[in-house]
Amino acid sequence: MRARIFFGGAALALLCGQAVSNDAYYQALAELEANALQFTGSQNYVTVDSAKLTGEHYYSAKNFPGAPNPPQLSLPDANLDPLTRSILILEANEPPLPHVRYRITYSMDASPNIPEVQQAYVEVTRYNLGPSRREDLLMSVPDGQVADPAEFGVGPHISWRVVLAPAMGMQAGLVYASRTEVPEAQARTADCLGEPCLSLSDPSGPIAGWEPFTSPQSDPPPYARTTDFGVATAAFGMQELWENLTADGMDPLQYMPTQPHFVFVISVNVAGQEAGISGLVKQAVVMDDSVSEIWTRRLEIAGVPAEFSRLVVPRRAP
């Protein structure tokens, strides 16, 4: 289903203030739309009617506890960033799984002539680690003492691509969406920031150079903040990472279809016996002549506050 990209009043006011012609404005929209359709329609992804992804099942009391149901005036997720909202959309439209690893890429596409006209491309791939966890346990525990496969989570590896843009009061309005299932053979060769995506070890990034930092306190989110295991949900882990990455704002970035601006890996209840969530992000496109990469890490186990650290990789002299 085709959808038009709408931009909020602030962006339109800026455009008018810059005396941008209607032709230039609509040309910028057309160029972004072409990129969006290419992003969602390639590599075996099947287009999904985006209007059906955020209905009553999405704005449910389970997903947004405490919010009016049905939503009134402003939607509970109106101020969420594109990445956090992408995870929530996926989880509302796929069966829940207890042991998962998300590989998430983010790219910004901003018009070079009208930077206020921009949209976000997010690919969210969810790997089901439940079967691997059970196989690993069977190596040391008799079969009769291990829970059934259903307890570990049964379901395919899946991937969604979503395009989001500011739209009528939404910071990240859903424009396009597509979905595909990831074959097991492909999942086994997939890389999650240096660790196989189906590995039971969480990726940790480069070995040395990490510096801990204190994350600013986040406002209570409109969605469920913690899982039944007592750790942050994947959405909240993502939101905290993104807030730290963009605390000083973000300049428009040149869109490169083959190189995402950010790659995230979020693992929920994958490594070890305790409930935990780890998040790792690599920023490979850095607008700084002295920096080549920036890594940020978030680690949390049940009952212990999350720990944050950052690694800045200097750019080598030519």
* pLDDT given for residue 76 in this prediction: 92
CA distance linking residue 163 with residue 150, whole number of Å? 33
* pLDDT given for residue 3 in this prediction: 32
CA distance linking residue 236 with residue 84, whole number of Å? 7
pTM of the model: 0.90
| Average pLDDT over the chain, rounded to an integer | 87
Nearest to 204 by CA among 141, 246, 265: 265
Read off the pLDDT of residues 166-176 as tens digits, 9 standing for 90 and up.
Answer: 988 899 999 99
Give the rounded distance of the alpha carbon of 156 from its chain centre: 19
Can you tell me the mean pLDDT for 247-274?
89
pLDDT at 281 over 50: yes
pLDDT at 142 over 80: no
DSSP the chain: --------HHHHHHHHHTT--HHHHHHHHHHHHHHHHHHHHSTT-EEE-GGGTTSTTTS-TTTSTTS-SS--SS-TTTT--HHHHHHHHHHHHS---SSEEEEEEEEEEE-SS-TTSEEEEEEEEEEE-HHHHHHHHHTTS-GGGS--HHHH----EEEEEEEEEEETTEEEEEEEEEEEEEPHHHHHH-EETTEETT-SS----SSS--EEEPPPPPPPPSS--B-TTSSB-HHHHHHHHHHHHTTT--------TTS-SEEEEEEES-SSSS-EEEEEEEE---S-TTEEEEEEEEEEETTS--EEEEEEEEPPP-
* pLDDT given for residue 71 in this prediction: 64
- Residue 261: pLDDT band (50, 70, 90) is very high
CA distance linking residue 209 with residue 240, whole number of Å? 21
Amino acid, single-letter form, for residue 315? R
Q: Which residue has the tokens 């899946």?
A: 158
Q: Kindly give, in sequence order, each residue whose CB lies less than 8 Å from that of residue 250, ignoring residues fewer than 6 positions away.
A: 108
Read off the pLDDT of residues 159-214 as tens digits, 9 standing for 90 and up.
Answer: 999 999 998 889 999 999 999 999 999 999 999 999 999 999 999 999 989 999 99
Amino acid, single-letter form, for residue 175? V
Q: Kindly give, in sequence order, each residue whose CB lies less than 8 Å from that of residue 31, ignoring residues fewer than 6 positions away.
A: 111
* pLDDT given for residue 34 in this prediction: 94
Distances (CA, A) of 102 to 224, 234, 290: 18, 8, 30
